[in-house]
Amino acid sequence: MKKTILTIDDSRTMRDMLRLALEDAGFNIVQAVDGVDGIDALNRCTPNVIVTDINMPRMDGFGVIKAVRSDSRWRGVPILVLTTESDDAKKQMARQAGATGWIVKPFDPTKLVAAIHRVSP
């Protein structure tokens, strides 16, 4: 059975790159355009892993992580942050909020797929 990955990113180009890389690796992809859309998407799918950007309108990635971790239905879903940010303080904030891992853009599709396999149930 295919694993489902929820990707949350406000950049259409990045969503397209994620879709291509992850579909080629055999994953089912659900995409959201920002944090609010991402939380809404959780009501329509049960992802094995969430991949989220940090800097987005309406709800940023930190808000997504906190919302996911505060809901018992999704508390155990691994969350990978995929962002241009590389600041250690932001990485620590994400870890404290409940992020599972941090990947800096631009991403290597092979490394992203490997990270998803490492964290997914």
Question: In terms of C-beta density within 10 A (0-12 exposed, 13-18 middle, 19 or more buried), how is residue 12 classed?
Answer: exposed
* 64 neighbors 11 (Cβ within 8 angstroms): no
Which pLDDT does position 24 carry in this prediction? 94
Which pLDDT does position 115 carry in this prediction? 96
Which pLDDT does position 1 carry in this prediction? 80
Mean pLDDT in order along the chain per 10 residues (121 residues): 95 96 96 97 95 96 96 95 90 94 93 95 72
> Would the pTM of this model clear 0.85, i.e. be above it?
yes
The identity of residue 76, as a single letter, is G
Tell me the CATH number at 39. 3.40.50.2300
Q: Where are the alpha helices (DSSP H) in the chain?
A: 12-24, 35-41, 61-70, 88-97, 109-119
- Whether cis (ω within 30° of 0) applies to the bond prior to 106 is yes
Give me 20's structure tokens: 């291509």
pLDDT in tens, 26-56: 999 999 999 999 999 999 999 999 999 999 9
- For residue 66, what are the domain limits? 4-119
Distance of CA 64 to the CA centre of its chain: 9
Specify the number of domains making up the chain. Answer: 1
